[in-house]
A and B are shown apart, each in its own frame.
Chain A
Amino acid sequence: MGLYNVFNISGSSMSAQSVRLNTVASNLANADVVSSTEKGVYRSRQPVFEAVMDALNGDGSGVTNHSTPSVRVAGVVENNAAARKEYQPEHPLANEKGYIFKSNVNSIEEMANMMAASRSYQNNVEVFNTTKQMLIKTLNMGR
């Protein structure tokens, strides 16, 4: 029956959004990290979502259900934009020319990302609860 599959779909989305929130937290925590080389600097990370088209159907029939895919995180990619360079010769981590390299995290972008992720998470929790109520009412039919 179709409704039981909704738990799998909403659950997968909640898990994906929580990965997104984790990367936002990690980016914000490391926003002020400084390095002496361009390579060692912290680069902001983002998860990449993709729809799962090859999953088996929830009722065990073995037929792949292409019309209601769940979501999964395909990977976490780093932002390869250039790191910001600043001239601070007194900084303990400055290289021999006096430059330090700052991370390329944009805090405003991360806050917007966090709000979108949390909104999406709440939507999926609502879908989950509504479907659970529908199923309970169906099971209690005629009682």
Chain B
Amino acid sequence: MPISFDSALGIHQQALAVRAQRTELLASNIANEDTPGYKARDIDFKSTLKNINYQSTGSVSTTNTKHIQNEMGNVGADILYRVPNQSSLDGNTVDGQLEKSAFSENAIRYQASLTFLEGKFRGMLAALKGE
């Protein structure tokens, strides 16, 4: 009977992928803190995870050069725009403190997912070895 990794590892592998994509998005926000006209973006983590459970992710098939590939095609996350707290003359909506704290929290949760994943693998190894 083949081992189904999907059911053994649970939600953690998809959570890890979404966290990685979110890291990239937040890093881009922090890098563009001073760019005029740049709008800050983010992923809604909870709703993305819920949607992953109900459908298989995949990228849009493009058969014509004019077809637009969906953004971040491998996870299918919806990228939303942040609502700015303060208006700014140059059109930049990045709040430096907010982005930094979101980035730190995301990094810690990524490592938490990594730790859980490692724990699951160890459990499977222990079951295989019969200890």
| A134 vs B30: C-alpha distance when bound (angstroms) | 17
Are B32 and A63 in contact, with the CB atoms below 8 A? no
Quick check: is A91 within 8 A (CB to CB) of the other chain? Answer: no
Q: Tell me which of A27-35, A93-101, A135-143 binds B.
A: A135-143
- B interface residue count range (under 10 / 10 to 19 / 20 to 34 / 35 or more): 20 to 34
Are B23 and A134 in contact, with the CB atoms below 8 A? yes
Are A50 and B79 in contact, with the CB atoms below 8 A? no
| A85 vs B25: C-alpha distance when bound (angstroms) | 49
Q: Is the interface of B mostly helix, strand, loop or mixed?
A: helix
Residues of chain B within 8 A (CB-CB) of A138 are 114
| A63 vs B71: C-alpha distance when bound (angstroms) | 9
Q: Is the interface of A mostly helix, strand, loop or mixed?
A: helix
Minimal beta-carbon separation of B43 from chain A (angstroms): 9
In the complex formed, the residue of B with least CB distance to A47 is: B34
| A127 vs B31: C-alpha distance when bound (angstroms) | 9
Quick check: is B96 within 8 A (CB to CB) of the other chain? Answer: yes
Across chains A and B, the number of contacting residue pairs, with CB separation under 8 Å, is 98
| A49 vs B100: C-alpha distance when bound (angstroms) | 20
Quick check: is B118 within 8 A (CB to CB) of the other chain? Answer: yes
A57-88 to B contact mask, C-beta < 8 Å, 1/0: 00000010111111100000000000000000
Quick check: is A25 within 8 A (CB to CB) of the other chain? Answer: no
Interface residue total, chain A, C-beta cutoff 8 A: 38
Q: Tell me which of A7-15, A36-44, A102-110 binds B.
A: A7-15
Residues of chain A within 8 A (CB-CB) of B32 are 13, 49, 51, 69, 71
Report which A residues bind B (CB closer than 8 A).
1-3, 5-6, 9-10, 12-13, 17, 20, 48-51, 63, 65-71, 116, 119-120, 123-124, 126-127, 130-131, 133-134, 137-138, 141-142
A selection of 19 A-B contacts at a CB cut-off of 8 Å is: A2-B21, A9-B31, A10-B31, A13-B31, A49-B35, A50-B35, A63-B69, A65-B71, A65-B72, A67-B79, A68-B24, A69-B28, A70-B31, A71-B31, A123-B100, A124-B30, A127-B31, A137-B114, A142-B122
Name the 7 nearest CB pairs between A and B, nearest first: A13-B31, A68-B28, A2-B24, A6-B27, A49-B35, A67-B71, A2-B20
